[in-house]
Each structure stands twice: as structure tokens, then as C-alpha cells.
Amino acid sequence: MFNRVILIGRAGQDIDVRFTPSGTKVAKFSLATSRNYMDSKGNWQEKTEWHNIALWGRLADKGEKIVKKGNLYFVEGSIEYSIWQDQSGNKRYKTEIRALTLIPLSPRSARVVAETIDEKGSYFDHVQDEGKSVKDIDNSRDIKDEIEKIEAPESDFPDMEDEDDDIPF
């Protein structure tokens, strides 16, 4: 069986951080994705879907620092369904994406990461603070270089040339 979701969308709100009774950090936000389609009258329409995203533990720490309303993110994770009864006895349902990966894609998001590196030193300090060893990770300068590439991409397809004879159809 396979339960994997990949989404690219914009945060609909700033992140909401809470703790479970056992002290685990949980950060939640909504993510909007959209698609365009042609309706039966030949007009282009846009449909937006809203997804509930949950970040746990160290990923919640990262999300708390970088998720801002309106910024673009890559989220990869799994779908989780919850069913419960409310106080009136009605069955309630909730669908959430439990994120395993969170990557900022917009220049604004990338700047937040860069500012975090400037303010706090290495972006991975929180991992080291938890007593875990991180090999070869004093690369905050490398991360900042990667962020600059996000902010100013040269081309979406740098290795492709305009040659029609390579098209197989």
C-alpha cells in the first residue's frame, strides 16, 4: 500500500503552533492549490482546493520559522483521516496532510529562511541543540547560495534547446 501526497501551493494563513499533552510540537496551516479547466461553454475556470497541513516535531520547528501567509511551498506527506463524535453526538470528519517534507519555493519564503540563518547562525542549530549529531552540516552559506538561486532563476529549462526534430510525435 502507498499513501503519499505531493502539493505545491500557497499558505492561506500564518502557522498555528500548539503542543500535545506529552509536549510534542504540532504546527498547522492551510495550503491552497488550484487548477485551471475549460467549462462546458468553453470558458476557462479556476478551481481552488484547500488542504489542512500538519507538521510534527522538528518539522514543526522549521515550519514555525518559515511559513507565512501567501508564500509558496512544496509539501510532501501522507493523508490522514480522523472521525469523532462532537458534543451533540454528530459524527465529524477531518482530512489532514501529515507533512514529511516542507520546502519554501517563493522568493519571500526563501528570504525568511535566509533571515533565520542570519539571526540564528546555522539553519540546523535546532537539530544540534536536541543533542543529535549532524554530519557535514555547517553549510548555512551553501543554503544561502541555494536560496539566491530560488530568488533569481536563470531559466526553467536551462539544458533544453529549441530543436523540433527530437520530438517523437
Domain ranges for the chain: 1-105, 106-154
**Entry pTM:** 0.62
pLDDT the model gives residue 126: 40
Q: Block means of pLDDT (10 residues each) for the chain, length 169 residues?
A: 91 94 95 92 93 95 92 92 92 94 76 56 42 40 51 48 54
| 140/121 Cα distance (integer angstroms) | 8
The reported pLDDT for the residue numbered 1 is 83
User: Which residue type sits at 161?
Assistant: E
Q: Give residue 105's pLDDT.
A: 86
Q: What is the DSSP letter of 166?
A: G
Closest CA to 111 of 144, 133, 86: 144
Q: Which CATH class is domain 1-105?
A: mainly beta
